Amino acid sequence: MTRVYLREICLSFGRFHLFDGLSFECPEHAYLCLVGPSGCGKTTLLRIVAGLTHPDSGDIMIGGARVNDLPPWGRGVGLAFQNYALYPHLSVAENLAFPLRARTRKDRVRGAELHRRVRDMAALLQIEPLLHRSVTQLSGGQQQRVALGRSLICNPRVLLLDEPIAHLDVRLRYQMRLELKRLHQRAGTTTIQVTHDQQEALAVADIVAVLKDGQLEQIGPPLKLYRHPATAFVAAFIGDPPMSILRAELITDDGELALRISEAVIPLPRKFIRNLTGARSTKVLLGLRPTQVALADYAGPHTVAGIIYSHEIVGRQLELVLAIGNDRLRYRTDRVLRVSVGEHVNVSLALDNARLFDGGTGRCLGADDDIAELGTVETV
Amino acid sequence: MPAIEFLSVTKRYPDGTVAVSSLDLAIEPAEYVCLLGPSGCGKSSTLRMLAGLEEVSEGELRLDGRAINGLPAQRRDMAMVFENYALYPHLNVFDNIAMPLVARGRAASEICTRVARVAEALQISDLLKRYPAQLSGGQRQRVGVGRAIVRRPSTFLLDEPFGHLEAYLRLQLRAEFRRLHERLGTTTLHITHDHEEAAAVSDRIAVIEQGRLQQFGTFLELLDNPVNRFVAEFIGSPPINLLPAQLTGSENGPCVKVGPAKVPLPMARTAGLSQAVASEQLTFGVRPEDVYFDTQDTSETLFGDVVAIEPQGDFSLITVDITVGTIRAMMSSTTILRRGQRVGLRFDVSRAHLFAADGHSLLVPPVRPAGKAR
Amino acid sequence: MQRTALRATLAVLIGPSLLLLTALNVAPFFLGVYMSLYYWSLANLGPPRFLGLLNYEYLFADYRFIDSIKVSLLFVVLSVATELVLGTTLAFVFSSRARGMASLRRISLLPVMVMPLVAGLVWFYLFNPTYGTVTWLCYAVGLGRIPFLTKDWLALLCLVIADVWQWTPLVMVVVFAALQSIPEYCYEAGKMDGLSQRQMLWRITLPLIRPAIVVIMILRAIDSFRNIELVYMMTRGGSGTETLPWYIYSTAFIDGNLGSAAAMAVVMVLFVTVLTQFLVGRLRYRQA
Amino acid sequence: MREATIPPPASRHRSVGHWRPLRTGGLLAVAVAFVGWCVFPFYIMITTALKTDPQIFAWPPVWLFHPVLRNMQNAFFVVGGRSALFFLMNSIIVTAVSTILAVLLGSMTAYGLARFHFPGDRNIAFFILSTRFAPPVAFVIPTYVLVERVGLLDTRLALIIVYTAANVSFVTWILRGFFVDIPKEIEEAALVDGYRHIEIFWRVALPLIKPGVITTGILCAVFSWNEFLYAMILTQSRASTLPVYLSQFSGSTTLVWDQYMAVGVIAVLPVLLAAWWLEKHLVRGMTFGAVR
């Protein structure tokens, strides 16, 4: 049992409370990604698990035992740092062997056994030819492998990765994230990774946890977060492109419920109606993916007027950022358009697959069950 | 007349390294051009020669048709945003932004109003008394921009302006840069190694590698019509699949042999394909979005096992192990797939590429609707 | 539990040094204050006699003491000012990228760490009135035989020259390092902003090397204020070169009046502490 | 309007190129003159050590002569009861031991202050630094009394302790800066890898700042080697170091320039080598880390 469980973690720096009773769980053998904007506390959380930062209160449980009072080396964790933190005065082999030589380790190994373990790890990570080089001569990708090897060599119960591939170039990043995923599939070590890149998190993780200001916004399988964001923040954070969030007002129009977005009034599909009982006010947030937005040729009663705020090319598509009141709405098209900043346009919105969030709390209005069940891609 | 012209410009350093070799590039007035390339490719040297921070070793540099090789940077009327922002550490934000005006001996009252206006536009009015060391990366970057736009220069030079910023700030700022450009209409040269950033902000992109211009065109031209393997690899995300291949013939015309599969090439794209390359080891390139799943067992289908599934939202990246390599395919995330499952793959050959051993592209460019995207 | 372990580690790490420093700095300081209240003679074998503040009263009536402070200050001001002006100018000279400059800079550093006593010895020889090389050089250019070390204001000047010889290279290399550490981008930004050469000097270079100049100035002031070797070798306090350290030294170990010397030492420590606080403030600022 | 700001470029560019060699030549001349001034006393010292008495006392000075090595031999083997060799040995022992001790204790303290945060840690650091600036002439008086009381007068141990204390503050301050510069993550990695703080200090932190340790060590050695006042006061004969030997010249009635210059050369030579070698790191050391 190497489940990691944090219960009621509180941590403050002076008057600033980062965590105020945060709890979350990473099941055994899971690959969990912590994502969130910088300053959300994701790295601090990882350091709390590793034992490098001590919470003011709360329990850290690894494999069912409370480890708060154990030093980092007693917790059976491997940690790979964002900047790799290799020992620059040692060679690759010595870096890999360093944890095995520690005097605090009960299973301390020496001699031939040590060499064998180092060689095996190097083989696993395909860095055998580098073993006798100084780590300062390695490329970023190679250093990253060494750092990973050093955190894995003691067969940790829990592997902790802090932005493991953030410093690599694009192509290497695609390659390494695949390797991380396959490594995990082979070894099955419970893994917690911190990343700021939600695309990376969706790609590698079994479970994604979104943090914001030290609070857990949502935790769940990648596609669940993508399709059923629990809060407006998650909706605007997950996905490329993420959802655009528009402020709207619930009104009654001819006895039917409708949304008012700036001037426009758009009837609300029936399926939303039974979810709205939980709404506390008439102010709501509407979350839309660019695919749910279409340019309209004319201004009609159901179209929303906007101004082109900016435009960019994304892949083979053109993305328009439209200013609707103070909100920004993203729209993507394959068509070739000639547009310029400041132009007035009208858009129609397809609300069938849109998400509604409470205007005050930002929480999603409506249960998940009314939308087709998630996860059609199996990630066994 | 182009606003900026590089006429076979070469930059050679005293130690003999050639950073830029006979570069020819013409930038139109009011154009936003990105210099794109990996680090150390010479794009920075190019920009710095234009700025006047480095001397041109050979060739001629022209601004509005006049040679400016010997003109000191102070008199080129360009403004630059540096990668590390290059703020004066001993001056506060106000004095930093004011420096270009102070250098020109403007009156104190004019300086005050202009700095105030710029600071307001960049939303840094409340930071004017702070020193660079007290600012966050994003704030420093704004000050760097403010210093550049406090006067109206002929040209903006941006050296990796988002290099040290967080991802979300980058996304936000590139929209701001595009807006600013459309408002001011100033000719802009922007350096970056990130092709997505280049695509987002620029009108045209110059891809540079090892000091040489590889290709100069719009992003879509680069994406669908790369002149060589380097451009194809460098542009596009997720990256293009590259597989070893040979050219063979069949009753329907030339074919590409990839592993066991024979992929026929459309006639329109094989014109001028010489038989000389038939014996060469070629590289077949296809983008993940142009790979399809196919259950039929035809001679052009490649079979392999799914080794990884990476959900990305509406679509997932599927990595398939075909014995001659791995292929990444992009497909809707509603499709049901399992790791280890055997699948057949086919390619959209109208968008595929074939590269010779020396890297240059062999096929006729795919047909694209003409006209600028913007 | 972990916290106790950390405390023990910390004690092991910094305990011995603190003990040593207490024994050799804090204890002597208080002993010095204590001694200054006594008639404490080197020669007298009897117990020291308590005087109260009498030593201090005598001190401020002692014109030699007041004069020695004046001489010391004059020495400090003259030598440090010369070193700063010369050193800073030379730092700009050595910043030129001409070939061979690096080797020249390296050679010019040689005097910095020379034993001050040896510096005194050599300059004593150079200034010797009957066969000193400098004396001869002055004579050769028609200035006559100048009695450098025995003429009142000249003797102090000789000390200043020796001090300048030894320490100008340090000032030079410190300012040089400060110049080198000005990031190239500052000048590049200046060029893009359209600054002229003169504006670059006044608006970028000088403000950026100022902190280094202030630090080295205070350091040199503290150091030359406590210098005793040059006086010891070259003049032994004669001809208007009786600096404060020399006066304290001679009172204590030539006249054997430890109590009175201790009183002077206490005054001197207070003096230096003020200077040190300036320096520490600077270093604190640099570290923040 | 834009065109008006661009003058014909060629002439201006050339004029700069024309003056450059002259300017460089002028700067080189100034630099050479300065170097000459710096080196001249060394030249006099070395030549004097190699001259005979009549040449030393000659007016005008003798510039060309046959060097003799007799003075060196005199200094080290002949003079009176005790040769300079004896002082040299004392100097070497005192310098070596005090340097090793100071680097050891100082690096430990520096590490403690750099890595452990406790109330008043910075004040302790500044207290340690300020002891370095204490005027020796003020502290030598009570120290003399203390050393006399514990019966260590005229022993090498006394000098070793005093020099160690003086250098500990220096080492602590400089190395603290070096330790602070080590990325914290490297040491945290070692913590996760299973090492205790003291082990991390020895096996990770100290090796990482080796250049700093060597530099600091050399500067300490130079200080101990050159120190005069304490050596003069705390020793009489048995434990006296080279500076004490040299200081005897000042009081003596006979002017044996040749011998003293010879000893001076010996006293200065190792230090010159150190200065030559340290060139790059000298600034950081001598300014207590304020300028790098």
- A69 in contact with C, Cβ within 8 Å: yes
**Residue D231 tokens, joined:** 């050596």
- Number of helices (H) and strands (E), helices first, in chain C? 14, 2
- The confidence band for D254, taking pLDDT boundaries of 50, 70 and 90, is low
Q: Number of C-alpha atoms within 13 angstroms, CB side, residue C278?
A: 15
pLDDT, residue D98, reads 95
Which domains, ranges and CATH numbers included, belong to chain C? 59-287 (1.10.3720.10)
pLDDT, residue D77, reads 62
* Residues of chain D with C-beta less than 8 angstroms from the C-beta of A78: 192
Q: To probe the interface with A, which of B33, B201, B309, B333 has the most A CB atoms within 10 Å?
A: B333
List D186's β-bridge partners, or say none: none
Residue B168 reports pLDDT greater than 80: no
The whole-angstrom distance between B10's CA and the closest CA on chain A is: 28
Is residue B330 within 8 A of residue B289, CB to CB? The reply is yes
Choose the weakest-confidence range: A230-239, B232-241, D268-277: D268-277
The whole-angstrom distance between B115's CA and the closest CA on chain C is: 14
Is residue D290 within 8 A of residue C212, CB to CB? The reply is yes
H-run or E-run covering B212:
strand B212-217
Those residues of chain C that have pLDDT short of 50 are: 1, 288
Condensed to tens digits (0 to 9), the pLDDT of residues A121-178 reads 998 888 889 999 999 888 888 898 999 999 988 888 999 999 888 888 888 889 889 9
> Is D191 in contact with A52 (Cβ distance < 8 A)?
yes
**Residue B43 tokens, joined:** 């794009």
Condensed to tens digits (0 to 9), the pLDDT of residues B330-343 reads 988 888 888 889 99
Neighbours of chain D (3+ CB pairs under 8 A): A, B, C
How far apart CA A354 and CA B297 sit, in angstroms, is: 40
Number of residues written out for chain B:
374
Minimal Cβ distance to B63: which of D6, D10, D13: D6
Interface of D with C in 7-66 (CB under 8 A): 24, 27-28, 30-32, 34-35, 37-39, 41-42, 44-45, 48, 56-61
Condensed to tens digits (0 to 9), the pLDDT of residues A199-220 reads 999 999 999 999 999 899 999 9
Question: B22 by DSSP, 3-state: which?
Answer: strand
List A321's β-bridge partners, or say none: A310, A330
The predicted model gives B296-323 an average pLDDT of: 89
- D152 in contact with A, Cβ within 8 Å: no
* Residues of chain B with C-beta less than 8 angstroms from the C-beta of A240: 312-313
Order of all β-strands in the sheet with A16-26: A16-26, A4-13, A57-62, A65-66
Query: B-side interface with D, Cβ within 8 Å?
Result: 63-64, 66-72, 75-77, 154
* Residues of chain D with C-beta less than 8 angstroms from the C-beta of A71: 191
> Is B317 in contact with A336 (Cβ distance < 8 A)?
no
The predicted model gives B192-216 an average pLDDT of: 92
Q: How many CB pairs under 8 A join C and D?
A: 294
Give the domain D80-287 fold: MetI-like fold (1.10.3720)
> Is B199 in contact with A314 (Cβ distance < 8 A)?
yes
Residue D7 reports pLDDT greater than 60: no
CA dihedral sign, ordered A139, A143, A146, A148: negative
Minimal Cβ distance to D12: which of B63, B67, B70: B70
Neighbours of chain A (3+ CB pairs under 8 A): B, C, D
Strands (E), A199-333: 207-212, 215-220, 244-253, 256-261, 264-267, 283-288, 293-296, 304-314, 317-324, 327-333
pLDDT, residue D198, reads 87
The predicted model gives D126-141 an average pLDDT of: 85
**From the centroid of its chain, how far is CA D152?**
26
Q: What percent of chain B has pLDDT over 70?
A: 96
* Burial call A17-56: b when 16+ CB within 10 Å, e when fewer: ebbeebebebeeebbbbbbbbeebbbbbbbbbbbbbeebe
How far apart CA D170 and CA D156 sit, in angstroms, is: 21
* Residues of chain A with C-beta less than 8 angstroms from the C-beta of D190: 87, 98
The whole-angstrom distance between B184's CA and the closest CA on chain A is: 12
Q: What percent of chain B has pLDDT over 90?
A: 44
Is residue C122 within 8 A of residue D41, CB to CB? The reply is yes
> Is B179 in contact with A309 (Cβ distance < 8 A)?
yes
Interface of A with B in 334-353 (CB under 8 A): 336-342
Cα-based distances in Å from C119 to A216, C173, D275: 70, 20, 15
C260 by Cβ neighbours in 10 Å (0-12 / 13-18 / 19+) ranks as buried
pLDDT, residue D107, reads 94
Q: To probe the interface with B, which of A204, A292, A312 has the most B CB atoms within 10 Å?
A: A312
How far apart CA C142 and CA C112 sit, in angstroms, is: 32
- The confidence band for D3, taking pLDDT boundaries of 50, 70 and 90, is very low
Say which DSSP state A129 is in. Answer: G
- C286 in contact with B, Cβ within 8 Å: no
Q: How many other CB atoms are there within 10 angstroms of residue A289's CB atom?
A: 21
**From the centroid of its chain, how far is CA B223?**
10
Minimal Cβ distance to D9: which of B64, B69, B77: B69
Minimal Cβ distance to D192: which of A72, A87, A89: A72
- Tell me chain D's radius of gyration from C-alpha atoms: 26
* Residues of chain C with C-beta less than 8 angstroms from the C-beta of D283: 173-174, 177
> Is A204 in contact with B238 (Cβ distance < 8 A)?
no
List B309's β-bridge partners, or say none: B318
Alpha-helix runs per DSSP H in D136-209: 136-149, 156-181, 184-193, 197-200, 206-208
The predicted model gives D85-96 an average pLDDT of: 89
Q: How many CB pairs under 8 A join B and D?
A: 27
> Is A380 in contact with B178 (Cβ distance < 8 A)?
no
Those residues of chain A that have pLDDT short of 70 are: 1, 274-275, 277-281, 366-380
pLDDT, residue B299, reads 83
Interface of D with C in 248-277 (CB under 8 A): 249-250, 257, 260-261, 264, 267-268, 271-272, 274-276
Residue of A nearest to D190 (CA): A99
**What global pTM score does this model have?**
0.85
* ipTM score assigned to the predicted complex: 0.83
Closest CA to C266 of C24, C27, C35: C35
pLDDT, residue B59, reads 92
The label of the residue with tokens 């003491």 reads C65
Query: What mean pLDDT is reported for chain D?
Result: 82
pLDDT, residue D19, reads 64
How far apart CA A107 and CA A72 sit, in angstroms, is: 16
> Is A73 in contact with D195 (Cβ distance < 8 A)?
yes
Residue B374 reports pLDDT greater than 70: no
Question: A131 by DSSP, 3-state: which?
Answer: coil
**Residue C264 tokens, joined:** 């002077």
